[in-house]
Amino acid sequence: MNEAAFVLQDRLASAADIDQIFKKCFGHKMGPLETADLIGLDTVMRSLDVLYDSFHDPKYRCCPLLRKLVHAGHLGRKTGKGFHDYEQQ
């Protein structure tokens, strides 16, 4: 999920395209950004922070875009907006 957030942040692909790749190419039911939205972006961010604090491995550094969404109150499905917009559904 964190790596997918970095791909989105770097504008290498859209959120929809990233999730579609995982569904079509890897047979996943949900893409990583959809999964993060389902779990809750705040929960994903806190989990990454615990991993980073525990292991001091840069691969667990939370993507700044993810942190920005959480601080803006866009926590995923539970708030209607995260990496995807759920308010229209």
Return the sign of the alpha-carbon dihedral for residues 8, 12, 14, 18. Answer: negative
pLDDT band at 87 (very low <50, low <70, confident <90, very high): confident
- The answer, as to whether pTM is greater than 0.85, is yes
> pLDDT of 5-50, one tens digit each?
999 999 999 999 999 999 999 999 999 999 999 999 999 999 999 9
The Cα–Cα gap between 54 and 72 comes to 26
Please give the full DSSP string across 41-67, using - where no structure is assigned. HHHHHHHHHHHHHHH--GGGSPPHHHH
